[in-house]
Amino acid sequence: MNSRNMLLAHILVLIALLLAGCGGREKCLTVSEVWQNADSLEGKRICVRGQADFRLLPHHPMQVGGCIPKTEGVVLPRIVGELALLDQDSQDSEHRLLISESDLQCEGNVCRVVCRPFAPSAHAAWGGTETVQAFEFVGTLRVYAQESGVALVLDDIDLRASRRLADGEWGPIPTGDFTYNFP
């Protein structure tokens, strides 16, 4: 078989695999679709797409006002971060899909917060130059009953299979320690 026929054979095999569904990414669900099908998706590995809803807890005015100028010897209040996904272009905070604390750790004080292993914000404030419009996370769905209702949490996130939409382009999620210094 000459090289031209070999190339043609490889192309035909690739086309057959794509048509059979073996070459594409798994379908990503919206946050709404995950909520609608939570019972059947619980415990399963899923892909979910949404915009970041990052919150610092407890929330107080110092988070937007900046750090105390002289912090030496002063015990600063502890702040943690919580990331959830919302449907893109939605402000429906009742139907949030939480990212587990074991997959994203954000901790700090009124001067700065450090998050690892990725930057949770939809803004470039974490040291990057891009603005993130959405995330696609691949992980395992957990459903938890709470006093106020049900919480959906995505656990065991596979960052290599996940990606982000930054400045209109889908790409990998950069990993490391990301620091946000309050202005």
Q: Which residues pair with 179 in a beta bridge?
A: 114
Amino acid 33 reads E
- Kindly report the pTM of this predicted structure: 0.77
Residue boundaries of the structural domains of the chain: 27-181
Query: Quick one: pLDDT band at residue 163, thresholds 50, 70, 90?
Result: very high
Taking only the tens place, the pLDDT of each residue in 86-143 is: 998 776 667 899 999 999 999 988 778 899 999 887 554 566 666 788 999 999 999 9
Note the helical H segments in the chain. 3-19, 31-36, 38-41, 62-65
Taking only the tens place, the pLDDT of each residue in 4-53 is: 555 555 455 445 444 444 444 569 999 999 999 999 999 999 999 999 88
Look at residue 3 in the predicted model and tell me its pLDDT. 59
Look at residue 126 in the predicted model and tell me its pLDDT. 60
State whether the Cα torsion 115-91-173-42 is positive or negative: positive
Select the more confidently predicted residue: 18 or 165. 165
In a 3-state reduction of DSSP, which class is residue 13? helix
Look at residue 50 in the predicted model and tell me its pLDDT. 94
Look at residue 16 in the predicted model and tell me its pLDDT. 47
The answer, yes or no, to whether residue 144 has pLDDT greater than 80, is yes
What is the rounded distance in angstroms from the CA atom of residue 75 to the CA atom of residue 72?
Answer: 8
Query: Quick one: pLDDT band at residue 78, thresholds 50, 70, 90?
Result: confident
